[in-house]
Amino acid sequence: MADKENVKTLGSYKLKLEGMIIDVTIYSEENEPVPIYNISILNISKTTQRILDKLRDEFISRVNIGAISAEQTGDIKDKFKQEIRVLIKKYFPGIDTETSELLVSQVIQQNVGLGNIEILLKDANLEEIVINSSEDPVWVYHKQFGWLKTNVIIQNEAKIRHYSTTIGRDVGKEITLLKPLMDAHLKSGDRVNATLNPISSKGNTITIRKFAEKPWSITDLIKSGTMNYEAASLIWLAIQNELSLLIAGGTGSGKTSALNAIANFFPANQRIISIEDTRELTLPNTLHWVPMETRLPNPEGKGQITMLDLVINSLRMRPDRIIMGEVRRKAEAEVLFEAMHTGHSVYATIHANNAEETVTRLTTPPIDMPKAVLSSLSLVLVQSRNRRTGTRRTLQIAELDKTGTVKILLQLDVVKDKLFKANEAKRTLETLHLYTGMTSSEMKQDLDKKTSILKWLVSENINDVHKIGLIMSKYYAGKLQV
């Protein structure tokens, strides 16, 4: 850390990783354009570090780390731990057991795993971990502080490439000079993109989008100010009565988090099929849920399972509701809208910045759906992220009329940071009346009841998706008392 007079500490906390205690300090410096994310291992002294360096050198000289296959990794770690313990006894016979096991963990982490990236992966406050090259420090996106530079440096380009290769091998992917781009995921579910030089001209890169350890619930969305009670109640009413909904937004706006949260409202007596490229959703364990994932082709170009394959297959699985990670292509959209027309409830995400743009995106290439077809879609929920503050908000909730024209129901006032009613719902209420027989006053009473339940969930801080799923099953069975 630089001169203390020019440093302002913004936050600090501790992490634990296999016996190591890591201190995380986030601070700003006068001459640094962004804050610094600094990690230091508290329970390793200078003497212990010297022992560690000697062990690491000896270990590397005896073992060809690069030759380890993905299938071997688990067994090899156990074998290496035994070898390191032998080295410790050989060079440092008087060392205590706690320090010995700490050294074992450190040598394994630095040489068989992803080095200090493993520490960053352990921090639940981080959303993204980015390696741009060996010349730059690793960057992270922090939930509270946004983009930060870290004090983690990757020694050379070969090390970055080794990390990419290791990640790829674990999931049957490869990255080579002939195939310098790779999409993969860690065993923890974190999404990974890697590129090799010269495609990324500054150096090899790795981008890790972290999988949320705790799935977002509707309580979390309300408590964080992302959504208000009125919006959540309207979505609940729509989902309960099987209206289809699309969640739009830009990259990092919280589309998947919102999709996970509104899935809290699904009833337990219906079959739900979810289709994703990489598994991100975690639905309540009270639900009849079948999660499915796409698969890229193997190095020989065989075995690919596309989103379209799974959407078509899902219709043969007698689903009541279909969740699709993201709509990208015309064929996928055609099958999804056909599913809506044949009585299935469909929920999906799409990249678009507002409700009007969502319709434009659906009705122009590459998706290019006829506008009249959009009438089977009831609501569009738009999520946005303020890149300056990092806050995520519901920007709009809109309904579509019979011609596919957008009507904004709720709109975010960015200055006041509040959702306000822009227009009264018409088509949505007409659809609900047609299929449920509910009058406008009965719908208002129902919305008020839903709002009171949501307020109770927030006041009791019930934010576990499985607990909320159980509460919803009681609500639909008429047994919930709050």
pLDDT tier for residue 462 given thresholds of 50, 70 and 90: very high
pLDDT of residue 3: 58
* pLDDT tens profile 122-173: 999 999 999 999 999 999 999 889 899 999 999 899 999 999 998 998 887 8
pLDDT tier for residue 24 given thresholds of 50, 70 and 90: very high
* pLDDT tens profile 342-397: 889 999 999 999 999 999 999 999 999 999 899 999 999 999 998 777 789 999 99
Residue 17 near residue 122, CB atoms below 8 Å? yes
Alpha helices in 315-411 (DSSP H): 330-341, 355-363
DSSP code for 211: P
Q: Report the distance separating Cα 284 and Cα 467, nearest Å.
A: 8
Residue with the bigger pLDDT between 82 and 334: it is 334
pLDDT of residue 158: 93
Return the structure tokens found at 301.
């170009």
pLDDT of residue 278: 80
Contacts of 465 (CB under 8 A, 6+ apart): 215, 217, 260, 263, 264, 282, 283, 284
Domains of the chain: 4-209 (3.30.450.380), 218-476 (3.40.50.300)
Beta bridge partners of 392: 385
Residue 194 to residues 191, 205, 214, 225, 322: CA-CA distances in angstroms?
Answer: 10, 5, 25, 34, 31
What is the pTM (predicted TM-score) of this model?
A: 0.81
Contacts of 336 (CB under 8 A, 6+ apart): 311, 322, 324, 327, 346, 348
Residue 299 has pLDDT above 50, yes or no: yes
Q: Report the distance separating Cα 174 and Cα 274, nearest Å.
A: 27
| Phi, psi values for residue 381, rounded to 5° | -105, 120
Beta bridge partners of 418: 413
Residue 374 near residue 400, CB atoms below 8 Å? yes
- Section 467-475 average pLDDT: 96
Mean model confidence pLDDT for the chain: 89
Return the structure tokens found at 242.
């099987």
Provide, rounded to the nearest whole percent, the portion of the chain with pLDDT above 70.
92
Beta strands in 30-62 (DSSP E): 36-41
pLDDT of residue 66: 47
pLDDT of residue 67: 45
Residues 430, 431, 436, 440: is their CA dihedral positive or negative? negative
pLDDT of residue 122: 92
Question: Which single residue is written with the structure tokens 């780390």?
Answer: 65
Q: Which of 67-71, 307-311, 316-320, 352-356 has the lowest mean pLDDT?
A: 67-71
Residue 407 has pLDDT above 90, yes or no: yes
**Four-point Cα dihedral 15, 20, 26, 29, nearest 10:** 180
Residue 41 to residues 23, 50, 140, 412: CA-CA distances in angstroms?
Answer: 6, 14, 18, 44
Contacts of 316 (CB under 8 A, 6+ apart): none
Q: Which of 49-58, 70-79, 127-136, 456-465 has the lowest mean pLDDT?
A: 70-79
